[in-house]
Chain A
């Protein structure tokens, strides 16, 4: 039986583990979190009395099933919680858990690390009280906390609506949902969105609920700014009509879609490709998740697809591992999984159009807006370096010369924006600017970590 390691215990990783266990493989399941579920199906901290079923609504059944499945197979896998995979090299995953560095060898590695929010720098986004959209949701599920009393949900993401409803259900005042994508653009995406009618209907129902509760929902919002002195005090924006409006709030949940965590895939030797619809980089892999020899990718870390797609792609990756080792796999089941995944991925491409990242804003981002939060690098700094003779002609060079992306988060929240900004400044295509080369460790590694003998 092959030695299989899985990074990530969200819906993709858990689904992969489940298939492998059914076929008598005992995978090592490496989870940075304390409990399985990833972000989408994050379970409340032990002891927290949170109405998770009410919060998850129609998705509550999937949540329960996934966690029940984990409980059922837990004994048959090697589950490593609170374990960070920080590098992959020469057929080994390098992990750290507390103070212990543990290397995990594998015949096959399934990378399912998920995604983080994609952000876009706006005036005031570094003020205390601005949080990522996904983060605001996860915090509610994990810790039972709202990020503020009066919250504005801003950006371009279908999650805006769901997150606003969830927070409202728990007592937040949702001062506004400010969607940067125009309504007409959303209408234009409907044909693609019909690829998954149930998901589409769910989304429409969120929108309807918000409307009914009297929450202002604005589409086509531009010139978004967060205002405040020492913390968030309000947001200012321009309506699609051109009118400038301000709304008071004490927290902003900001998000513009998702950004896959592809760094481990790159370190492991996977190629990456640029996707013009999502305007970002993904590991190269086939529909089953095969990426390179012994390397498989699944979930949002492979292709933005959402939780349902993650479950399907996790299963497909596990079957691919088995098939590539000459073990029998149920072909009819695979065909069904592929069909389902194809539909959901098409739906996501529709969402990427309906909730388009407003990259064009970056051409006009004021010079004094911070782009790299960790290093305090502003839009003006980026433009200066991009324009300089022998300067930042691609993103890695830009990083070397401006320090953008050299901080603790290693470019997660700034690199895409910086590439758009520089490309706009130089009049070049975004894809030409490239992506930050992955460097280990993918997250900060404690100096005191010691190799376990």
Chain B
């Protein structure tokens, strides 16, 4: 019975999640608030974000941090903005190369007609 590799040595101090199984798929680079993060094809945006930081943004009301909750697309806690104005649900969306996530409102919102 395999015990998964412990990658705590590469886990940033502020990361929330711990990856305990590796992806064999190609690497995918994306960014969060301009900061580059490396993920793998098939990884969810939520997993990729929370391996690098401890929050995915702030709640609209009250400003408390958000880090997802149900992890299966039911609670709707993990919606995030993309720089181009799109919105994705982080736990059910796979990373894509060049994805630019912003944790606050996207710059230039609302765009002119």
Contact = CB atoms under 8 A, between A and B. Distances in A.
Contact of A46 (B1, B17, B25, B54): B25
Interface residues of chain A: helix, strand, loop or mixed (majority): loop
B3 interface: yes
Contacts of B16: 128-129, 147-148, 231, 250-251
A412 B44 contact: no
B7 to A, nearest CB: 9
Contacts, number: 158
A250 B44 CA distance: 21
A51 B4 CA distance: 8
Interface stretch (B30-38, B61-69, B104-112): B61-69
A47 B41 contact: yes
Contacts of A250: 16
A143 B44 CA distance: 7
B69 A132 contact: yes
A135 B71 contact: yes
Given A144-B22, A148-B17, A172-B18, A45 B43 contact: yes
Contacts of A34: 94
A373 B75 CA distance: 9
B102 interface: no
B72 interface: yes
Contact of B75 (A51, A146, A412): A412
B65 A230 contact: yes
Given A49-B22, A128-B55, A375-B61, A171 B4 contact: yes
A42 to B, nearest CB: 8
A149 B18 contact: yes
Contact of B71 (A45, A50, A139): A139
A132 B70 contact: yes
B106 to A, nearest CB: 15
A47 B61 contact: no
Contacts of B18: 145-146, 148-149, 171-172
Given A49-B21, A170-B20, A375-B61, A443 B73 contact: yes
Given A128-B16, A142-B44, A146-B17, A47 B25 contact: yes
16 contacts: A47-B40, A49-B24, A54-B1, A128-B66, A132-B71, A138-B71, A143-B43, A149-B8, A169-B3, A171-B20, A230-B65, A231-B16, A231-B54, A231-B55, A251-B16, A374-B77
Interface of B: 1-4, 6, 8, 16-25, 40-44, 47, 50-51, 54-55, 59, 61-62, 64-77, 79, 91-92, 94
